[in-house]
Amino acid sequence: MKFGIFYELSVPRPFSRANEWLTYHNALEQCRVADEVGFDHVWAVEHHFLEEYSHCPAPEVFLTAVAAQTQRIRVGHGAVVCVPEMNNPIRVAERAAALDIISNGRLELGTARSSTWTELGGFCADPDDTKKTWDEFCRVIPQMWTDDDFGWEGARFEMPARNVIPKPFQEPHPPMWVTVTTPGTELDAAARGLGCLGVSAAPFAEQERRTKEYYRRVANCDPVGSFVNDQVHTLNFLYCHEDYRQAAALGLPMVGAFSMSNAHLYFTREAYPTRAYQTLGNAGAALRSRGTPNGSAPADDPSVAKGLPEGVGIGDPDHLVRTIRKWEDVGVTGINFLLNAMEMIPQEQVLDSLRLFATEVIPQFQTPDERAARVQAPTSVPDVSSPDASEPSTMSAGTSR
């Protein structure tokens, strides 16, 4: 089981430049602590125009800062929007390769096709084209990384033969993923040999059904890259405290506030589903059912006494171990956590939660050798003084369960 942290970089109203600065710098401090205590990944979204919910339009900048301030933790796009009005695939390949070099081979590249009318409309993009353009991006980017003379004539993108440089540090290239919000996208990921990076809620039974079908299909896929990445990650919240009720009292308002903000942005499709953006189905129902309204939730609140929503990563260490075992049982290989969605928890308490989780929970999912490996930087750098130093010695992880 891999553990990551996931950033939307929310900035609640009232907006100010100071509040945006604080959100970014708090997140960087959290990443440094996560690196020190043994988390595996940092992921950052790409969103545009989504006031309060996400002020993260340039994840490559944020992730470069993370890479410069950490040693071991992997940095992931969660994900690059594969819509040509927002990103040219050549520029995606170039920026990603540069980040992989700067991080000494720690990049994971997630791909997506955007999820909101606010963003697509803001860039004057046709929502009915996004799946086709996403597919083309997924096919051309790994070839740009590995081929010295690459040209393409496709339905949505074309370029004359060129050598796209630099090449990534990892050989043959970084692992690739697809962010999964709508049910069925995990099957698109499986068909292309891409990792399944879940970014929406699903009950255990629903997750198990979808995960089993993903594994069945990815075993017989035609990968778009040089290897198959058959990992399944899910998104969750994290607040770990020695006392279950105190954890719930702080964690439940965070879940509720984030879910309410999310609903305002994403559920237009529930009222007006289209051919390209259909209903979220059970995943949407699960997300709408989570959490409590924004505000305080004292420890004696009835919602706390009834317990937390199914599968949420909030509670004392023993509760979290039991919860993560259930995710493990349904086939999930990694969990990525929102640490302070909507910036509702004081920074020191967020860091205390990270450290407690790393001390008490993560070791329950590791062998002693794995625990030792997590506190060492796994990447290597080439000996540039050697005449044979033209290629780095690191290899990307063509991951498997």
pLDDT in tens, 224-266: 999 999 999 999 999 999 999 999 999 999 998 888 777 767 6
Task: Look at residue 317 and tell me if it is in a domain.
Answer: yes
Q: Are 196 and 180 in contact (CB under 8 A)?
A: yes
> Please, what is the average pLDDT of the chain?
87
What secondary structure letter does DSSP report for 364?
G
Q: Which domain holds residue 33?
A: 2-374
The CA-CA-CA angle for residues 90, 232, 275, to 5°, reads: 65
Q: Is 400 inside a domain boundary?
A: no
pLDDT band at 272 (very low <50, low <70, confident <90, very high): very low
Please answer whether residues 341 and 257 qualify as being in contact, where contact means their C-beta atoms are separated by less than 8 angstroms.
yes
Range in 148-157, 198-207, 259-268 with the lowest mean pLDDT: 259-268
* Mean pLDDT score, 295-318: 68
Quote the pLDDT of residue 114: 87
Least confident of 59-73, 74-88, 237-251, 300-314: 300-314
Mean pLDDT of 173-195: 96
Q: What is the pLDDT of residue 258?
A: 86
Q: In which band, very low, low, confident or very high, does the pLDDT at 39 lie, cut at 50, 70 and 90? A: very high
State the pLDDT confidence band at 203, using cuts at 50, 70 and 90.
Answer: confident
pLDDT at 302: 43
Q: Write the DSSP assignment of 80-119 as a string of letters.
A: EE--TTT--HHHHHHHHHHHHHHTTS-EEEEEE----HHH
| Section 67-84 average pLDDT | 98
pLDDT of residue 306: 56
The rounded percent of the chain whose pLDDT value lies above 70 is 82
With 70 as the cut, is the pLDDT of residue 399 above it? no
pLDDT confidence of residue 379: 56
Q: What is the mean pLDDT of residues 288-296?
A: 41
What mean pLDDT is predicted for residues 259-288? 55
Q: What local confidence, expressed as pLDDT, does residue 384 receive?
A: 64
Task: Look at residue 384 and tell me if it is in a domain.
Answer: no
Is 396 part of any domain?
no
- The reply to whether 38 falls in a domain is yes
Specify the residue for token string 């999912």: 365
Return the sign of the alpha-carbon dihedral for residues 118, 120, 125, 130: negative
Q: How confident is the model at residue 380 (pLDDT cuts 50, 70, 90)?
A: low
The CATH number linked to 266 is 3.20.20.30
Could you tell me if residue 394 is inside a domain?
A: no
> Per-residue pLDDT averaged across 334-349, rounded?
95
DSSP 192-239: TT-EEEE-S---HHHHHHHHHHHHHHHTT---SSSS----EEEEEEEE
Q: With a cut of 50, say whether residue 296 has pLDDT above it.
A: no
Hey, which residues does 236 pair with through a beta bridge?
337
Q: How much is the average pLDDT of 90-94?
A: 99
Half-sphere exposure of 344 (CA within 13 A, CB side): 24
Strands 150-153 and 158-162: antiparallel
Q: Is the predicted pLDDT of residue 290 greater than 60, yes or no?
A: no
Is 385 within a domain?
no
Radius of gyration of the chain (CA): 20
* The total number of structural domains that make up the chain: 1
- pLDDT computed for residue 339 by the predictor: 96
- Rounded Cα distance between 46 and 341, Å, is 16
- Mean per-residue pLDDT, 287-315: 58
Q: How far apart are CA 3 and CA 233, in angstroms?
A: 9
- pLDDT-derived band at 283, boundaries 50, 70, 90: very low
pTM above 0.75, yes or no: yes
Residue 25 has pLDDT above 80, yes or no: yes
Q: Which residue has the higher pLDDT, 297 or 34?
A: 34
Looking at residue 268, its pLDDT comes to: 53
Residue 55 domain-assigned (yes or no): yes
The mean pLDDT value for 1-11 works out to 97
The predicted structure's pLDDT at residue 365: 96
**pLDDT score of 397 more than 80:** no
